[in-house]
Structure 1
Amino acid sequence: MAGQDIFDQPAAQVIVAGIRAYRTRIPFQTCPREADLRAIRIPVRALFGGRSVVHDPVAAAAKLRRLLPHADVEVLPGASHYLYLRPEDRRHVLDVISAPG
């Protein structure tokens, strides 16, 4: 999902080890109910990696904008699903986070 270039990073190695060794004891993650998302009243900044293969980032961003009109939602076109693993994604995320409102 993020490319072979990340596997030399310690964070990626921890994630891979967890995927291989972890056995779930609780149900797998599900999407929150729309009513629960609409009930969120705190500021929300959501960043979606435009190259994600985990979900459709454009559709997910559109749904969140519809359910949380006060949220700041952005799709980062060149970023993968794991925004924090690739250095170029981290730089872009930091630029977006530090940009004025």
Structure 2
Amino acid sequence: MESKNIVTSDNACVLQEILKVIGGKWSMSIVYILFSGTHRFSQLEKSIPHINTRMLIKELKTLASFDIVSRKVYATVPPTVEYTLTEKGKMLKPIIDDIYEWGKVNM
């Protein structure tokens, strides 16, 4: 007998909320890079091929608004900005690792 997953509207709403956080085109790439530690803006920009500055800023602001990434600004000229995963962001590691492994096998 084949089992079926029943998706209720509550489950669908939770999935939609999750996708608001990590569903952006570049969000998982940013989080994946930050698993290795704190990075400056320019380091992130160089680490993600084909992302433009405006999109990186937008994704980082979104991730920060959901408390996935923390942003620290240093009073230098020009300003130095560093990004780090929060504890909440670090909890995404096994999930993103699983998605990465799935992609290696199936893509």
Q: Indicate the TM-score class for this superposition, using the shorter chain for normalisation.
A: under 0.3
Report which structure shows greater RCO (CA 8 Å, sep ≥6).
1
Q: Which of the two has higher C-alpha Rg?
A: 2
